[in-house]
Amino acid sequence: MEKPGPRTASAELIIEDPKLQSTGQKLLYGMLTLVFWMIWIYLWLPLITVAAWAFGVQRFVDFLLIEEGIEALTRVIEFYLVVVAVMCGALLAWANYNRLRFTGHERRKAVAVQRSSALLASALGRRESAALVWQHHKSLWVTHHADGRIALVEQMGEVHRDPALYVSAPIAGELSPSRQS
């Protein structure tokens, strides 16, 4: 694993932040995307046609468009629009009801966390003095042995190998070669 920090030029992102693009670039890329989506859908049309034929879409076209005409299709679309409007209205009513019901009634409370250095030290298998030191640093880099025990702790760029802070001193041979110093 590599250390966090600035990346090299080879690791730069190919797609940059869209907010930095000009309007012309956004329009061009949007149009290109639309054209390629249309090509992609065109390539799928034979399979879509077979699936539609298998599910009876031709009967829908024959019944609504040829036999009954556009008036029947208009009536069906109007009915669907009414159903969708009723569903949207019910959803909006429910959302507003819950907003009015729960506004100002915060039920989530912060849980008090025990931050005892003795508990942390016992959980990590280290001395309490080590846990105290680690708790006061903003950032730590922890390397583990193959069995999961802590092998090395680095604080703010400096390696911390004080054997007095460990129950068992770190073994340098068990560290990965890239992390040995």
Structural domain boundaries in the chain: 22-55, 69-101, 117-173
Assign 174 a pLDDT band (cuts: 50, 70, 90).
very low
166: amino acid identity, one letter? Y
What is the structure's pLDDT at 161? Answer: 56
Residues 6+ apart with CB under 8 A from 127: 121, 164, 165, 166, 167
23: amino acid identity, one letter? T
Integer distance in angstroms from the first to the last C-alpha of the chain?
15
> Residue 97 and residue 95: Cα distance in Å, rounded?
5
What is the structure's pLDDT at 35? Answer: 96
The answer to whether residue 142 scores a pLDDT higher than 80 is yes
> Residue 7 and residue 18: Cα distance in Å, rounded?
20
By percentage, how much of the chain surpasses pLDDT 90? 19
> Residue 72 and residue 64: Cα distance in Å, rounded?
6
| Cβ-count burial 75-114 (b if 16+ within 10 Å, e if not) | eeeeeeeeeeeeeeeeeeeeeeeeeeeeeeeeeeeeeeee
Task: Return the higher-pLDDT residue of 60 and 128.
Answer: 128
What is the structure's pLDDT at 172? Answer: 42
What is the structure's pLDDT at 126? Answer: 83
Would the pTM of this model clear 0.95, i.e. be above it? no
> Residue 146 and residue 176: Cα distance in Å, rounded?
10
Tens-digit pLDDT profile for residues 124-137: 888 888 888 888 88
Q: Extract the tokens encoding 79.
A: 């009915």
Half-sphere exposure of 47 (CA within 13 A, CB side): 5
Nearest partner of 151 among 159, 140, 143, 160, judged by Cα: 143
